[in-house]
Amino acid sequence: MPLQQYGEKWMDVGGIRTRYFEAGSGEPVLMMHGGTIGDASGAANAEEWEHNFPAIVEAGYRAIAVDKLGQGYTGNPLRDEDYSMRGQVAHMAQFMKALGHSAFHLIGHSRGGYVACRLTLEYPELVSSCVIVDSNTCAPGMGRNEIVFACNPHPQGSREASKWIFQGYSYRHDHVTDEWLSAVEKILAQEKYQVAVRKMNKEGLADTVFSPSLCHDRDELFARLEDQGLLRPILLIWAFNDPTATMDQGYRLYDLIARHQARCQMHVVNEAGHFSYREQPAAFNRVVKEFLQGVAHGI
């Protein structure tokens, strides 16, 4: 069921026009997609949560899915230095404060899992619990993206190029629907999106800002997880057949977080690639609901 049925909402977050979806009532559950700002073909956005958002609403929560800074329909960073995960974390924290709820359950996929983890570390007062899904950005070790996506045979930014990427991430291909690809096409066609693509690639911010700051911040994240840990209940959800974020990375992240956080669980699903929440939505939704309800009762 497409998220559009809930109606888009917009908020000015520190001068950034930010798109999000919101429905239901109860404790807020904030869902953060993955992907990288300025990705010329594989544009990620909040509508990827279409199979999960309704289940969260039905379970008695206020579901919120947002486009991260510079991605989807949310505006681009105002400063070059914010073309970074750091910039996206700061934007997300501002967005949460502006929404004004006391604390959020976070669900973050891939690079959004890094944002979720970072928010839990830096702003525990804003966070009730944290679900990290298939995030090699957030896990020790190397992801395999460079290998899997080494030779996209299709023209950059084309529908075929996007399809090739999403299928490459996946175990099953049937979740890579025409509707999804059309939504991505529309995102890529925006002028603001093409500005981000140009700044990251032609103007080099990917190499001079994004990459060095993430390299530094990941090291710092792992050091802090090792030293002090996270203060909120954590659930890791990992797909057994993720070609990019490996099982080994998932287990290593679990070991790291479990050192300091007793309330840390991990759930692995089979026959799913990077988009476990789209490829195995029934198991994903069941496990998330069980986790959230457990959190409320100290489990």
Partner 1 sequence: MGSDKSSAWKERAASLRAPSRDMGQPHWMDVDGIRTRYFEAGTGEPVVLFHGGNAGSWLDVTDCLCWDMTLPPLSTQVNCVAVDRLGQGFTDNPKTDGDYTMHASVQHAASFLRKLGKGPYHLVGHSRGGYLVCRLALEYPELAKTCVIISSGTLSPGPLRNPIWLGKPPRPVKTRESMRWVLQRYSYSPRIVTEAWLDECVAVAESEREQIVTRKMVEGLDKSLYAPELRRQRLETQRWILERGLPCPTLVVWGVNDRTADFENGKILVEMLMRKQPKTEVRLFNQAGHFVYREQAEGFNGMLLDYVRSNS
One residue of 9, 12, 14, 25 binding partner 1 per CB under 8 A: 25
Site for partner 1 in 69-98 (CB under 8 A): none
Give the start-end residues of each E strand in the chain: 9-13, 16-23, 28-32, 62-66, 104-109, 127-133, 234-239, 264-269
Is 286 near partner 1 (CB under 8 A)? yes
3-state helix, strand, coil in the chain (%, to 5): 45, 15, 35
By the 8 A CB rule, do 180 and 288 touch? no
3-class SS string, 21-81: EEECCCCEEEEECCCCCCCCCCCCCHHHHCCCHHHHHHCCCEEEEECCCCCCCCCCCCCHH
CB of 299 to partner 1, least distance (A): 5
Is 266 near partner 1 (CB under 8 A)? yes
Is 263 near partner 1 (CB under 8 A)? yes
Is 142 near partner 1 (CB under 8 A)? no
- The owner of tokens 């100290």 is 298
Is 229 near partner 1 (CB under 8 A)? no
Is 293 near partner 1 (CB under 8 A)? yes
By the 8 A CB rule, do 267 and 239 touch? no
Q: Which is nearer to partner 1, 41 or 276 (CB)?
A: 276
| Length of the chain as a residue count | 299
Q: Which is nearer to partner 1, 53 or 164 (CB)?
A: 53
Neighbours of 289 (CB within 10 A): 17
Is 265 near partner 1 (CB under 8 A)? yes
Is 251 near partner 1 (CB under 8 A)? yes
CB of 279 to partner 1, least distance (A): 11
Sign of CA dihedral 269, 242, 36, 38: negative
Is 271 near partner 1 (CB under 8 A)? yes
Is 267 near partner 1 (CB under 8 A)? yes
Is 252 near partner 1 (CB under 8 A)? no
Is 173 near partner 1 (CB under 8 A)? no
**Residue numbers at the binding site for partner 1 (CB under 8 A):** 24-26, 57-61, 240, 247, 251, 254-255, 258, 261-271, 282-283, 286, 289-290, 293-294, 296-299
